[in-house]
Amino acid sequence: MSLTTIRDVRVILTAPAGIDLAVVKVETGEPELYGLGCATFTQRYEAVATAVREYLRPLLVGRRVDAIEDTWHLMMNSGYWRNGPVLNNAVSGVDEALWDIKGKQAGMPVYELWGGCCRPAATLYTHAEGATSEEVEEHARALMADGYRYIRCQLGIYGGHMGGAQQQLSTPKAALEGAYYDPGQYTRATLSMFERLRSLLGYEAELLHDVHERLTPAEAIRFACDLEPYRLFFLEDPLAPEDSAWLANLRMHTHTPLAMGELITNPAEWMGLIQGRLIDYLRVHVSQIGGVSPARKLAALCEAYGIRTAWHGPGDLSPVGAAAQLHLDVSCHNFGIQETAQFTEAEREVFPGTPLIENGYMYPNDRPGLGIDIDERAAARYPCRRREHKWLQARRPDGSAARP
């Protein structure tokens, strides 16, 4: 039985790619033995850092590092109110760090602790974006040349900034500032984009699309039906979590595979989707649900219902978080596909051991633990700064606030 205890819990804030990241470092009583975990909630990273420093650290210092399951429940229940994104991310950072330590103590990668690899690498999809259909096509071709065969195609920023068309919207006088978009304009332009992509790219690549919850249920159903001829690999987040009761209706109207879950933080939100077999891919953000401990259980639940994983993997996921998800990807039989925003050279400098991406696959290394480290001196050269996320200030043409 390990008597190794937690000596300190720290938060490292850094932004090597211009996106604010939060990484938790759990230090132990053994020299040089520590673990890393992702706690990134980029829009509220300071709140997460405060939760770790002011609440979790005093709770955890002196406790054994090997009691991961008990520690997870202790952290989750100690605030009484639970399943919010701030606390969940704070818990995730510690949880992933403890698994990192466990792997280092065992002298093996974490995926070996979970039963070993089902596959040598994780199939990836990444993003082709542009203000016009021509730009999206050009971007998609470049990604295909790099070996990607699964490509998410987005025109503008989730329905806005489409080739300057946003400036043509008719808004009321005294309308507040915001990221305006028109649902009808968005759906028409996106359908035109996919018509172009399929006619010019054929079916050599699998194409995906993210609605980002920006449509009403009726709009989403019509849009999904109109997308049928283009045979998408999946349609992502066609509805907001608040509208999930409409999924059964949507499911009856389309054969396109559905992926949901990016904004889910509470188990009550995913149970109905899984048990009702209303989706094909579950897309939760692993740190938003509390780390890899609940994610492993969630993947097993999905497997029982024939649903695959497609963990959320945007730019506001640290390389530590990407490594943690990769260990899940290669060790879970019902892995489907992994999103990636790729990694910059600055990120690889700050995070030695960042997973290798080659020809559309992400490869884990064979180092003990999660296989990734952090250079704190390099991280300090890329400080976080509070940023205004204007795309999240979404509004419809009449000026009313809308989901992002």
Rounded to whole angstroms, how far apart are CA atoms 9 and 34? 10
What's the token pair of residue 164?
A: 């300057």
CA nearest to 199, candidates 133, 128, 256: 133
d(Cα 48, Cα 42) in Å, to the nearest integer?
9
Is 361 assigned a catalytic role? Answer: no
SS3 percent helix, strand, coil of the chain, rounded to 5, is 40, 20, 40
Question: Alpha helix locations (H) across 132-257?
Answer: 133-145, 183-201, 217-227, 247-253
Q: Active-site residue among 34, 45, 111, 158?
A: 158
Q: Is 158 a catalytic residue?
A: yes
Residue 320, H or E segment: helix 319-331
Which of 288, 242, 291 is closest to 265 using CA atoms?
Answer: 288
**36: Cβ–Cβ under 8 A, 6 or more apart, which residues?**
23, 24, 25, 26, 96, 97, 100, 320, 370, 372, 373, 374
- The helix-helix angle for 319-331 and 85-106 (nearest 10°) equals 70
Structure tokens at 83: 């399943």
Among the listed residues 209, 212, 285, 312, the single catalytic one is: 212
Catalytic (active-site) positions: 158, 212
